[in-house]
């Protein structure tokens, strides 16, 4: 776990229902959509604000009363899933705007929806 930053790619739309607070991520290039559960929606909003892996884990731990170690594992799966779907860019001081490597899809509160 480190201080790496992630950002949503410019073609990713984040739609939030103001009444239910549900969030859907939409890839405007491919039409891929993901619905977010409560925890994933919580994390998406923090990613929009530029959170790092560490700040995401701390926020998840505090908000949902889970151990920090479990939160770190969940954050890893969450970021991996978003990366696999092509929704995130990895941003690092040494290598700005480098796309995150795609890896096997895991799930952490995200559900791919048919286009």
Q: Where are the alpha helices (DSSP H) in the chain?
A: 38-48, 53-64, 68-84
Q: What mean pLDDT comes out for the span 99-105?
A: 36
Q: What mean pLDDT comes out for the span 10-34?
A: 90
Determine the pLDDT at residue 112: 59
Determine the pLDDT at residue 109: 60
Q: Which CATH number fits domain 5-109: 2.60.40, 1.10.10, 1.10.287, 2.30.110?
A: 1.10.10
Determine the pLDDT at residue 106: 37
Query: What's the pTM?
Result: 0.73
Q: Which helix (H) or strand (E) holds 86?
A: none
Phi, psi angle pair for 114, to nearest 5°: -65, 145
CB 6 within 8 A of CB 88: yes
Task: Give the three-class secondary structure for 91.
Answer: strand
Q: Does residue 107 surpass a pLDDT of 80? A: no
Each residue of 42-95: pLDDT tens digit? 999 999 888 899 999 999 999 999 999 999 999 999 999 999 989 998 776 444
In terms of Cα–Cα distance, which of 36, 67, 37, 68 is closest to 54? 68
pLDDT over 70 for what percent of the chain? 75
Q: Does residue 31 surpass a pLDDT of 60? A: yes
Q: Does residue 5 surpass a pLDDT of 60? A: yes
Instruction: Output the average pLDDT for the chain.
Output: 81
CB 36 within 8 A of CB 85: no
């Amino acid at each position: 776990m480190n201080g790496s930053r992630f950002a949503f790619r410019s073609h990713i739309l984040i739609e939030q229902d103001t009444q239910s607070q549900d969030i859907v991520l939409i890839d405007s290039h491919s039409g891929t959509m993901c619905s977010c559960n409560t925890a994933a929606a919580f994390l998406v909003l923090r990613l929009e604000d530029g959170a790092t892996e560490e700040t995401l884990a701390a926020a998840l731990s505090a908000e949902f009363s889970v151990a920090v170690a479990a939160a770190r594992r969940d954050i890893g799966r969450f970021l991996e899933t978003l990366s696999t779907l092509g929704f995130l860019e990895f941003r690092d001081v040494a290598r700005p705007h480098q796309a995150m490597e795609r890896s096997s899809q895991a799930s952490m509160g995200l559900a791919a929806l048919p286009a």
